[in-house]
Amino acid sequence: MSERSLLAAYVTLQRLLTQRLTLQREVETPPAELAALRARDAEREAALTANRKRRGELEAEYGALERETGALYEEREHVRRQKSQVTNMKQLQAVVSALDHVQGQIDERESKLKRIMEELDALDGQAAELTAESPQERQQRLHLEQLWAERRGDSEAELERVRARLREVQLELGAAAMEAFKKLWNLRKPLAVVPLDGDSCSACHAVLRAALLQLVRGGETLQYCETCRRLLYDPAQFPPP
């Protein structure tokens, strides 16, 4: 295989690899508008999950406090009964002190119960807002999903065609030529073979020496940029198919 034929094959490989990368991104990456809607839905779902988790914690705390408060109510009634049975001032003071202590614990728990109920009500309101998707939002999302599915199907079909063509070119080149290309690719991917940009390398923008520029434009030998070491070609000599 002549160097010109080899250069042409390397240019084809580079174009196919660039096309493959572009198509892979199209297949994997939804449009920005759809991605934004999906991100909003993901944020909504995360907020709902946190909402449900917090509600579960509060309900458990509320149940425990209710049981504690119920026990304190019983203790308060027991202390009140004792108050009617006192026979001296010392006993009365002890009962009153115990009653105050129990009432303080009840007040503290009732305050907590009230605060929990307020937070539960706020969580209910938040959940209602998070789950609300307007008909317009739903219609827009479904429309964008359908458009992307159609475009993704086209891109997947084109990607398979590009992969098949890559296999063909690799077979045509043979093992030795492919090994040389792989070494260059591994060093300079995703752009290992680049076109001229006027009298410069289009990758690093270094201006080429006149003699090197003439050789590249001739297209008969493999010539590399002296700055970035990428393989160069003249797009006029090797136009896209």
Contact present, 30 and 98 (Cβ < 8 Å): no
Number of domains in the chain: 2
Confidence of residue 222 (pLDDT cuts 50, 70, 90): very high
Pair 101, 145 in one domain: yes
- Which of 30-44, 52-66, 80-94 tops mean pLDDT? 52-66
Per-residue pLDDT for 132 more than 80?
no
Domain encompassing residue 94 = 32-151
Per-residue pLDDT for 50 more than 90?
yes
**Residue 241 domain-assigned?**
no
How high is the pLDDT of residue 85? 87
Pair 42, 71 in one domain: yes
Q: What is the mean pLDDT of the chain?
A: 93
Instruction: Determine the Cα–Cα distance for residues 224 and 197; give it in Å rounded to an integer.
Output: 14
Contacts of 35 (CB under 8 A, 6+ apart): 29
Question: What end-to-end distance do the CA atoms of the chain give, in Å?
Answer: 21
**Residue whose C-alpha is closest to residue 58's, from 107, 114, 131, 128:** 114
Per-residue pLDDT for 37 more than 90?
no
Per-residue pLDDT for 131 more than 80?
no
**Residue 163 domain-assigned?**
no
Per-residue DSSP letters for the chain?
--HHHHHHHHHHHHHHHHHHHHHHHHHHS--HHHHHHHHHHHHHHHHHHHHHHHHHHHHHHHHHHHHHHHHHHHHHHHHHHHHTT--SHHHHHHHHHHHHHHHHHHHHHHHHHHHHHHHHHHHHHHHHHHH---HHHHHHHHHHHHHHHHHHHHHHHHHHHHHHHHHHHHHHH-HHHHHHHHHHHHHHTT-SEEEEETTEETTT-PBPPHHHHHHHHHTSS-EE-TTT--EEE-TTTS---
**Residue 10 domain-assigned?**
yes
The average pLDDT across 18-25 equals 95
How high is the pLDDT of residue 60? 97
Confidence of residue 1 (pLDDT cuts 50, 70, 90): confident
Pair 21, 51 in one domain: no
The percentage of the chain sitting over the pLDDT mark of 70, rounded to a whole number, equals 100
How high is the pLDDT of residue 44? 87
Confidence (pTM):
0.66
Pair 116, 43 in one domain: yes
Contacts of 144 (CB under 8 A, 6+ apart): 30, 31, 33, 34, 37
Contacts of 72 (CB under 8 A, 6+ apart): 102, 105, 106, 109
* Per-residue pLDDT tens over the stretch 77-129: 999 998 888 889 999 999 999 999 999 999 999 999 999 999 999 999 998 88
How high is the pLDDT of residue 47? 92
**Residue 107 domain-assigned?**
yes
**Residue 212 domain-assigned?**
yes
Pair 116, 199 in one domain: no
Pair 131, 38 in one domain: yes
End position of a domain, from candidates 83, 116, 151:
151
**Residue 169 domain-assigned?**
no
Pair 181, 133 in one domain: no
Per-residue DSSP letters for 137-161?
HHHHHHHHHHHHHHHHHHHHHHHHH
How high is the pLDDT of residue 40? 86
Contacts of 55 (CB under 8 A, 6+ apart): 120, 123
How high is the pLDDT of residue 30? 92
**Residue 167 domain-assigned?**
no
* Per-residue pLDDT tens over the stretch 178-221: 999 999 999 999 999 999 999 999 999 999 999 999 999 999 99
The percentage of the chain sitting over the pLDDT mark of 90, rounded to a whole number, equals 83
Pair 15, 85 in one domain: no
Pair 189, 99 in one domain: no
